Copies of this chain bind each other. A is one copy, B any other.
Amino acid sequence: MTVLGQQARAAARQMRNASGQTKTQALRAMARLLDTKKEELQAENAKDLIAAEKNGLEPALLDRLRLSDKALATMAAGLRQIADMPDPVGSLTASSTRPNGMRVAQMRVPLGVIGIIYESRPNVTIDAAALCLKSGNATILRGGSEAIHSNVALGTIIGQGLAEAGLPSHAVQVVGTTDRAAVGQLVTLTDYIDVIVPRGGKGLIARLAREAKVPLLKHLDGNCHVYIDSAANLDKAHDITVNAKTYRYGICGTMETLLVHTDIAASILPRLGQTFKEKGVELRGCERTRTLLPQALPATQEDWETEYLAPILAVRIVDTLDEAMDHIARYSSEHTEAIITENLSAATRFQREVDSSSVYVNLPTCFADGFEYGLGAEIGISTNRLHARGPVGLEGLTTLKWVLAGDGQLRG
C-alpha cells in the first residue's frame, strides 16, 4: 500500500499540471476502449459472476455486478459526459487588489491523491476514476473482492486511456489484492493520501471512520425528515411525501420520518395512510398518529433513530414548527430535510435554522443527488461539516490556494 501511495503522490504532481485537453482526451479514450474491449471485460466479469453465484450472492447484487452491454454503454456515456464538463482546475476567485497594490486571489487546484473504497458495483471504478481524473487528482481505487476481476480489467482500460493521452500510469491505480488488511492500511496513509471517499454500507463506513487518520468525505446515515406544516397545500403535501418515501426505498435521501403539524393532521394523514397502504409501506406512528391511522404500529424511540432503507415510515404529530425542528435537531443525521408549507416565514425559518447538509422547501428529500443539483455528477454525499457538504461534485475534489502578485511591495 505504501508503494501505491508513493506512486500516486508522484503521479499527482504530474496530474496537477495536466491540461484540460489532455484529461478530456484520456476520458474519451477510455469511453472508446470500454466498447472495443467489451469481450475481454465481459470475460473477466464472468469470473466474478460465477464466483458470486457460487457464494450465493442475492440476485439484485448479482445484477449490479454484471457488466452487461447496457451497463458498459452507461459507463461510457458517463465518461463522455465528464469529459465534456468544464475543467475546474486553475480558475481564480475572490480576486482583489490591496491598498499597497498587490493582487490577491484564490486559485482552484486539485486536492492531490484521493482514495476510493467501495463495495460490489464495478461501475464505481469508472465513475470515480473519471471524476478524480477530471479534477486533476491521482486516485487509488479499492473495490469489493466480489468484483476483483472486473475492477482489475477496468483498471487496464483506464491505464490504456491514460497512456494514449500521455498521462502517468499511476494516476489511477486499482488495488489488485482482496486482502482486507489493505483497507486498514489505506486509511492511515496520511503522507500519501489526502482524502478518502468511502462508498458502501454503514458497517464499512463506521469501521473506516474508527480507523481512519486520512480525512474521509462521507455520510453514515440518511435519516431524512419531511415536515408538513399547518400551512401546507394538501395536494402538494400528499405528492411530495409519497415521492419522498417511494421514489426509491434504498437511497440515502429517502424520507424515514414524517412530522405533521397537529392542525393539518386530520386532513392529510388518512389520505396519506391510504396511499401508503396501496404502496405497501408499513407505518409506525406516535400515539396521536395512531388515533388517525389505526393501521400504524406504535413507534418506539428506536424508530425515530432508524434509517430503514425499506418500505417503512415513522410518523409523528407535532404541535409547532419549533417542535418539528427540535425533533430534527435530535434525531436527524444532518443529511436532507424538507418542509411543506405555503407560509413564507415558516419556510424561511426552517431553511435557516435546520442544520442539515440540504434543506428543502416544498420538495421531496429524494432529490438529494449531485446530478439533480446541477453538479453534472457526484462522487458521493457528505454530511461532514468541513470542506464539501451535501452532494460532492468536481469542485469538492479540489481545493483553493492563495496566489498573490506584486511588484516588490515590502511588509512593515
Contacts and interface: CB of A to CB of B under 8 A. Distances in A.
Contacts of A90: 352
Nearest to A194: B385
Contact of A355 (B16, B98, B104, B236): B16
A408 B361 contact: no
Contacts of A366: 411-412
Contacts of A57: none
Contacts of A364: 410-411
Question: What size tier do the contact residues of chain A reach?
Answer: 35 or more
A362 B411 contact: no
A373 B100 CA distance: 11
Contacts of A390: 401-402
Contacts of A400: 389
A240 B107 CA distance: 23
Contacts of A96: 374
A353 interface: yes
A387 interface: yes
Interface in A357-412: 357-364, 366-367, 372-374, 385-387, 389-391, 399-412
B355 A411 contact: no
A357 B390 CA distance: 25
A360 B243 contact: no
A191 interface: no
Contacts of A404: 358-361, 363, 367, 373
Contact of A387 (B355, B367, B387): B387
Contacts of A98: 372-374
Contact of A13 (B16, B329, B410, B412): B329
The 10 nearest A-B residue pairs measured at CB: A236-B408, A363-B406, A386-B387, A358-B402, A243-B410, A361-B405, A390-B402, A387-B387, A360-B404, A366-B411
